[in-house]
Amino acid sequence: ADAMEKVGNDGVITVEESKGFGTFLDVVEGMQYDRGYISPYMVTDGEKMVANLEEPYILLVDKKVSAVAEIVPILEKV
**What does the pLDDT read at residue 19?**
84
Instruction: Per-residue pLDDT tens, the chain, 78 aa: give them.
Output: 788 888 888 888 888 888 888 888 888 887 766 777 778 888 999 888 888 989 999 999 999 989 999 999 999 998
Among 54, 52, 14, smallest CA distance to 34 is for 14
* C-alpha angle 55-58-61 in degrees, rounded to nearest 5: 170
